[in-house]
Amino acid sequence: MTESTIEETRKQIRMQAQGTMSLGVAFIGIANGLFEALRQRGPSTAGEIAQHLGLDRDYVTRWADAAYAFGFLEREGERCVLSEKGDLMCPSHPKTLMPVAVGSVLSMHMADRAAELMRTGERPGEKVLGERKTILPWFGAMLEANFSGLFEQEICPNLSVFREIDQKNGTVVDLGCGNGWYLRSLARRCPGIRGMGLDGFEENIQKARQLSKDAGFSDRLTFRVGDIKTFAHGGPVDMVVMNRALHHVWDEKETVFRILRDHLAKDGAVVIWEPAWPENPADLREPRKRPLAMQNLGEHVQGNHLLRPQEIAEAFREAGMTPEIHLFSEGAEAVVVGRIA
């Protein structure tokens, strides 16, 4: 490398580090409601915001300096004013950038855990997600903000399976439902469907119930705690969906696919949505796929790994079902639909 290329690379890496710092500052503002408070109250001093939110004044003062430095706040004398960029960090903004900040801090947490655990090979499992009590409450909202737009604008309109479920006013089961956003989104789109969401975490189910109630869907959507690997339901279901949940239970894929097939009505469909691990490692350099590599490191810590769409299709075939692979987001997201052959 020439001296000037080294200098150029140094500048580039330093700017990337500033990007990480800026998302760290944004995360603090999200996790403690600082952006939202400024959005609601208008220009306020750090002391006023701290008092309003019951936070420590000195910490809020330091945060306000950092948020100003990275352009999330403007200043009017002693008062802080939300900038346009800061407004975009508000979780209530329809185009919120909240998931980018939460995802960035989660990645750093996983990087730290991977750095330590690589020495022993230990894989502590999904409890690692809960180690940061500020991150965990944002996990569901992060997934919803990241993926509900893609679902509503591209996946739903382009897959016939969603028109079918709407026309037959069918029943949908969401296994590993998280905060239940997928069922809420489907219920909005398809006024006749009924849904049941299952998740292993009690907190997720409580959140899903609350959000469904707030959206007026309590009579059509129900949620319960349970394990996908032992799932059992009264009668046949028209659609079983799993979003970003299959890779959590892949170690028992034969059991899971048998459960999926056995619960399906004759003309029903299983719809599995997963990040698409590329067949060709060189694809990991593509900007849309690059984050998959970091996610997969975090998945490793949790005892999981990301799946290739063809592997999912093969599991459907082994269960006696016919798969169809659909790719979205420049190939970084896969929706695999399986029907009884």
Ligand X SMILES: C[S@@+](CC[C@H](N)C(=O)[O-])C[C@H]1O[C@@H](n2cnc3c(N)ncnc32)[C@H](O)[C@@H]1O
Residues that bind ligand X (CB under 6 A): 143, 176-178, 181-182, 199-201, 204, 227-229, 243-245, 248-249
Query: Which residue has the CB atom at the shortest distance from ligand X?
Result: 178
| Residue number, 86 or 195, with CB nearest to ligand X | 195
- Nearer residue to ligand X within complex by CB, 32 or 289: 289
> By C-beta, is 172 or 249 nearer to ligand X?
249
Min dist. Cβ of residue 199 to ligand X (A): 5
Which H helix or E strand runs over 322?
strand 321-328
Contact 83, 74 (CB under 8 A): yes
Q: Of 161 and 272, which has the nearer Cβ to ligand X?
A: 272
Q: Between the CA of residue 173 and those of 108, 263, 315, what are the distances in Å? A: 34, 10, 20
Distances (CA, A) of 211 to 40, 88, 180, 206, 214: 22, 22, 8, 9, 5
- Closest approach of ligand X to the CB of residue 339, in Å: 21
Cβ-Cβ contacts under 8 Å for 156 (sequence gap 6 or more): 162, 185, 186, 189
- Return d(Cα 219, Cα 222) in angstroms, integer: 8
Cβ neighbours of 7 (radius 10 Å): 11
Q: How far is the CB of 177 from ligand X (least distance, A)?
A: 5
Alpha-carbon dihedral angle through residues 287, 292, 297, 301, given to the nearest 10 degrees: 150
Least spacing, CB of residue 242 vs ligand X, in Å: 7
For ligand X, the closer CB: 204 or 222 = 204
- Least Å from the CB of residue 234 to ligand X: 18
State which residue, 44 or 179, has the beta carbon closest to ligand X: 179
- For 224, residues 6+ apart whose C-beta sits below 8 A from its C-beta are 196, 197, 198, 205
State the minimum distance, in angstroms, from the CB of residue 20 to ligand X.
23
Q: Which tokens is 145 given?
A: 């903000």
Q: Which residues of 253-290 are buried (b: 16+ CB within 10 A; e: fewer)?
A: beebbebbbebbbeebbbbbbbbbbbeeeebeeeeebe
Q: In the bound complex, what is the minimum distance in angstroms from residue 47's beta carbon to ligand X?
A: 38
Closest CA to 17 of 103, 104, 90, 132: 104
* Residue whose CB is less far from ligand X, 63 or 182: 182
